[in-house]
Amino acid sequence: MKHEMPRFDDRMSDAEALMWRAEKDPFLTSTFANITILDRAPNFDAFVARMDRASRIIPRLRQRVQPAPASLGPPRWVTDPEFNIAHHVRRMAVPAPGTMRQLLDLATLLVADAFDRTRPLWQFTVIDGLEGGKSAIIQKLHHTIADGQGSVALSMQFLDLERDANPPPPLDSSMFNEPEPSTSSASDLLNSSFQDVMRAPLGALRQVRELLQDPTQLPALGTQAAATVRGLLNELNSVDPARSPLWTQRSLQRQTETLRAPYRAMMDASRALGGKLNTAFLTAAADAAGNYHRKLGSPVESLRTSMAVSTRNEDSGANAFTLVRMLVPTGNMPITERFAAVNELVNSAREGSKNAQLDTLATASSLLPTSVLTRIARTQSQTVDFATSNVRGAGIPLFISGALVLENYPLGPLGGVAFNLTMLSYNGSLDMGLNVDSEAVAYPVLLKQCIEQSIQQLADYAPKNSATSQEPSRGDNAPTKQRRFRLAWWKKRSS
């Protein structure tokens, strides 16, 4: 898949502003991360240089958030005059023996640590001292900078196709995309913010208010307007509580787990069952959640999940997604029946998501006081049991400053749910990060084991000639012809 660089605007979209404001409630933080396992320590100085170069090409990496005066309109992005690459690219080590458990526990702490809102909202930490001479990079990013797919496009600034790849050419001033620091006066900003407020939100809010007072007006709206308002009303009126009898508590306590599955076997199994990979992924999550409840003596027939659906096109900004909610079957049934039911739900949800865009909801909430907004957002989060997201990555081996990427685990934000399972494809593997509220899910390791079992059940439906034990390619051993093919592929993707 070609990853186009997202467009970076000088102000937040309504959806980004919604995420930014809702974070006043720490349960609703939108920070996400990636845990990248490397076969050896990267050249740290070279990595810092690559990230400094990236920050000059991509303005957002050198920008901080400037709230609108009196909170009128969305915040703007302005150049940070105090930008220091050393604050954003760090290095540390875990003590011996350097187990995966130590790395995951450290990643949990780093990701949970709130960003300094006076600086650019990203941080990469190189972790040395892992078993077998391995290292890792914990990539932490605020969702207002980019969504999962946008962050994959950003990563092309520091990824290589070969271990000993030549460094990129130095930048000259004509290649810099760094914007000038804002020189707008307070009155200019206030006037601009007021104009922002006076555009779409008032019309949307007036329309919603009038329809709430007199729903008989709905048929008189245009088809698209009526669909948009229906989607908005359905979202705001959805207050049915989450279904789990076990996951009733919410906290700021976190535990991180990771899982892997063979890409080809899961893809072939999905096709054999009449669906797509994302259906298999969500089916495994639903099946595992049901098994978890049965093992603990609290069976449940259905749970509500939220699923991130990409809306990205060539004109998209840094964030281009919406969230859909659905009740998935979690009762005791054959996994093939569950797959068929989930497949129908996913298809229906994708169609319905066209009329329930996150931007639409954000526009309608842009005039609400932050205290009211966070209360509504918390109420909405309490209707969901767990969250899922699926991000497409690279199908070839990649390197970072001389180190081979072995595994690549994404960690999605919880946003007030019991757990978030996010999947990223990489080099013949499906790498999954399980971000758990450990007060809600009392036994995170059991949940991980249930997911692994459900994935294996699905993989068993792959045709017998499927590469069920496919091993990821070790980039160093690839023939020269294959390397040239990958190089051409990468250049095409990056153009």
Q: Is 189 in contact with 68 (CB distance < 8 Å)?
A: yes
Residue 144 pLDDT > 50? yes
Q: Is 138 in contact with 127 (CB distance < 8 Å)?
A: yes
Beta bridge partners of 310: 321
Structural domains in the chain, CATH included, are: 242-393+418-470 (3.30.559.30)
Residue 478 pLDDT > 70? no
Token digits for 366?
A: 């842009």
**Mode of pairing for the β-strands spanning 254-262 and 429-437:** antiparallel
Angle between helices 200-213 and 223-237 (to 10 degrees): 70
pLDDT of residue 353: 57
Lowest mean pLDDT among 235-244, 383-392, 414-423, 427-436: 235-244
Residue 280 pLDDT > 50? yes
Residues 406 and 130: their CA atoms lie apart, in Å, by 13
Residues 242 and 237: their CA atoms lie apart, in Å, by 14
Mean of pLDDT over the chain: 82
Cα-based torsion angle of the residue sequence 376, 378, 384, 388 in order, rounded to the nearest 10 degrees: 110
Q: Is 420 in contact with 435 (CB distance < 8 Å)?
A: yes
pLDDT of residue 297: 98
Q: How wide is the angle at C-alpha 347 spanned by C-alphas 343 and 351, nearest 5°? A: 165
Q: How wide is the angle at C-alpha 28 spanned by C-alphas 150 and 107, nearest 5°? A: 65
pLDDT of residue 263: 96
Cα-based torsion angle of the residue sequence 412, 357, 27, 329 in order, rounded to the nearest 10 degrees: -70
For residue 34, what is the DSSP state? E
Chain centre to alpha carbon of residue 172: 33
Residues in the chain, how many? 495
Which of 109, 85, 97, 95 shows the shortest CA–CA distance to 35?
109
Token digits for 308?
A: 């991130």
Count CB-CB contacts under 10 A for residue 321: 20
State the average pLDDT over residues 353-377: 62
Prediction pTM value: 0.83
Which of 14, 49, 294, 35 shows the shortest CA–CA distance to 141?
35
Q: What are the tens digits of pLDDT across the range 63-85? A: 999 988 766 678 999 999 999 99
pLDDT of residue 212: 44
Q: What are the tens digits of pLDDT across the range 332-343? A: 999 999 999 999
pLDDT of residue 448: 98
Q: Is 46 in contact with 167 (CB distance < 8 Å)?
A: yes
pLDDT of residue 234: 54
pLDDT of residue 276: 94
Which of 26, 14, 11 shows the shortest CA–CA distance to 378?
26
State the average pLDDT over residues 91-114: 97
Amino acid at 64: R
Please, what sign has the CA dihedral across residues 424, 309, 253, 24? positive
Burial 195-217 (b: 16+ CB within 10 A, else e): ebbeeebeebbebbeebeeeeee
Cα-based torsion angle of the residue sequence 20, 120, 253, 432 in order, rounded to the nearest 10 degrees: 100
Which of 154, 153, 148 shows the shortest CA–CA distance to 1?
153
